[in-house]
Amino acid sequence: MYREHKHGSSNSSLAGAFRSAKKCRANNKCTENGSGSTGLGGREELVSPAMVEKAVRRLMDSAEGEEIRKRAAELGDAVKQSVMEGGAIREEMDSFIAHITRQIFPSQI
C-alpha cells in the first residue's frame, strides 16, 4: 500500500514505493486501478499509477525536486550533528540518563 512518506531523499521515497508495491502484490491487497493511501485527513484515497509517476517525475526532473533533495540533505546533516558527541540531542540524552541514574541509585553517586 502506498502511503505518504517523508524520507531524506526522493531515491529513498522511490525505493519505499517499490517495496510497498512488492508487498502489496505479495499480499494480494492491491486494487486493480491503484493502491490505497491515507491522506492528510486520515481518509483512504485511491492513488493511481499515473499519480505516482507524476509525483516521481516532478521530484526527479524539476527545480522543486532539487530543492527538496537539498533540504533533505541539510536536515540529515543537522540530525547527524545533533546525535554526535557534544550535539544537542546527545547532551539531552546524557542529562536524562544521569537524572534517571540519580533517581534509581542515589547512594552510589
Residues 27 and 49 in one domain: yes
Domain end marker among 46, 61, 76? 61
Residues 85 and 100 in one domain: yes
pLDDT at residue 4, as a whole number = 44
Which phi and psi (to 5°) does residue 63 adopt? -65, -35
Question: Which pLDDT band, with edges at 50, 70 and 90, does 106 fall under?
Answer: confident
Residues 11 and 45 in one domain: yes
Burial class of residue 52 in the structure, from the number of CB atoms within 10 Å of its CB (0-12 exposed, 13-18 middle, 19+ buried): middle
**Pairwise CA distance, residues 10 & 57, whole Å:** 10
Question: How many independent structural domains does the chain possess?
Answer: 2
Residues 10 and 33 in one domain: yes
Residues 73 and 50 in one domain: no
Domain containing residue 93: 66-109
Residues 52 and 84 in one domain: no
pLDDT tens profile 65-91: 899 999 999 999 999 999 888 899 999
Residues 74 and 45 in one domain: no
Residues 45 and 13 in one domain: yes
Q: Whole-prediction pTM value?
A: 0.42
pLDDT tens profile 37-68: 555 556 677 889 999 998 888 888 899 889 99
